Amino acid sequence: MKKIEFSSPKEVVFCKKCVLSNQKPVTIPEFKHTIKRTGALYMNIGKDGICDACKYHSIKYKTISWSKREKELKKLLDKFRKNNGEYDCLIPGSGGKDSAFTAHILKYKYGMNPLTITWPPILYTDYGYKNFKNWLEVGGFDNISFKPNPTVQKKLTKLSIQNLLHPFQTFILGQKNLAPKIAYNYGIDLIFYGESEAEYGAPIKNNTSSLRAKSAYVEKNINNVYLSGVKYNDLIKKFKFRKNDLDIYLPISEEKIKKKKDLQVHYLGYYLKWIPQENYYYSVENCGFKARPFRSQGTFQKFQSIDDKIDDLHYYTSFIKFGIGRASHDAAKEIRNKHITLEEGKKLVEKFDGEFPDIYLSEVLKYLEISRDNFIKTCDNFRQDHLWKKTKSGWKLRHTINKTGTDD
């Protein structure tokens, strides 16, 4: 098995204000994801030692006039609002805290007629399925739940682990690419996602508009599309997939977008101050959302990313590839939103980051028909030399936010 080497920065630098490093990848279209992450961007940390995510949050709390932004939102909604009972906006979601907040506030505060759509988790947790049902039954929404061909999804997910160490890719592809297609078929011109990627370290310039870039969900050349790290045409020729097997995972075609020129994809977090913890309280009160009774492995929280049994594995594989685990992501958000201090965040990272996700692991690997030994070998194959060092007691990070790495 050939070792995979990314083009990530070889010098590890941590942000002065949060717990994340410049190894954090920032969003690229999932259908552009190659094995070596060619062309991928990583979170910028400026000469002042502060990351783009923290800089955006400074703007979010100190500069943006949220009352003005809300007026802009109302103007946008009035432009697309339908008074004949038809759906006038589409909201993708699972019934987690963020999609519950987005759908509920647009319908009941701003008077829109949303259609919600769901690309279900690969392996629902009991908590995730109950929250999905509560979202619809307590919150009160129409919903289309699209279940892709399980055999195809399993094969693509297995390939994405082998080629990308990315167990979540098929879910992300579906979650991002399904919405424009459903909107096209139902004559809906307005799609809302929750927070902008600028919240989590994408270039600040990406948040100068509420619009999601068309390059993130439209592709004119099928030869430029990768699924599970494999070119689209190679999946058909070498892996014997049918075109129909793969169509639902593909971005909407440029041809269809040209026919539907009024389609717009927006981030609600551009217009309303996005605070995950407050979204949680809102979704509990209005949509019957419930956190797990135990914390998620690899972190200290109980209410984020609890829908899919593959969630824990996804965050663990991110820790392997980039040296950044689930506790780091969660602590950084809590620090930026002023719920904990930097020192508290560092302690949480030290205690929970990189915890092995063994609660659901056996079930997930059995489903995917991957042996535990093979999974561990694949993980080791994706450890970057500038991040990891093999010692007598096992693999250790070379650098950590707490200065406990082998090279600190």
Torsion, Cα of 94, 295, 228, 29 (10° steps): 60
- Digit-coded pLDDT (tens) for 263-291: 999 999 999 999 999 999 999 999 999 99
Q: Which two tokens stand for residue 53?
A: 């995510």
Q: Determine the pLDDT at residue 374.
A: 96
In a domain, 223, yes or no: yes
Domain that holds residue 93: 62-270
Q: Determine the pLDDT at residue 7.
A: 86
Going from the C-alpha of 325 to that of each of 92, 135, 353, the distances in angstroms are 26, 29, 5
In a domain, 30, yes or no: no
Q: Determine the pLDDT at residue 159.
A: 97
Q: Determine the pLDDT at residue 204.
A: 78
In a domain, 329, yes or no: no
Sequence-distant (6+) residues with CB within 8 A of 175 are: 92, 119
Q: Determine the pLDDT at residue 28.
A: 79
- Structurally, the chain folds into a number of domains equal to 1
Q: The domain that contains 106 carries what CATH number?
A: 3.40.50
In a domain, 54, yes or no: no
Q: Determine the pLDDT at residue 216.
A: 87
Q: Determine the pLDDT at residue 1.
A: 63
In a domain, 277, yes or no: no
CA distance 101 to 96: 8
In a domain, 361, yes or no: no
**Segments of the chain scoring below 70 in pLDDT:** 1
Q: Determine the pLDDT at residue 105.
A: 98
Q: Determine the pLDDT at residue 39.
A: 75
Q: Compute φ and ψ for 114, nearest 5 degrees.
A: -80, 145
In a domain, 393, yes or no: no
In a domain, 241, yes or no: yes
